[in-house]
Amino acid sequence: MSMSGTLSREDALAYLASHHVMVLATTSTNGEPWASPVFYAQDDFNCYFISDHHTRHSTNIDAVPQIAASVFTNATKWQEIKGLQIQGKAYLVDNKRMLKALQVYVKKFNFVKELLVDWSGLFKIGGKMVQSRMYCLEAHRLIYTDNSRGFASKQELVLK
pLDDT tens per residue, range 91-111: 999 988 988 998 999 999 998
Which residues sit opposite 134 in a β-bridge? 50
DSSP 85-110: EEEEEEEEPPHHHHHHHHHHHHHH-T
Residues of the chain with pLDDT > 70, as a percent, come to: 96
Could you report the per-residue pLDDT of 111-139, keeping only the tens digit for each?
A: 888 887 776 667 777 777 777 889 999 99
Domains of the chain: 9-158 (2.30.110.10)
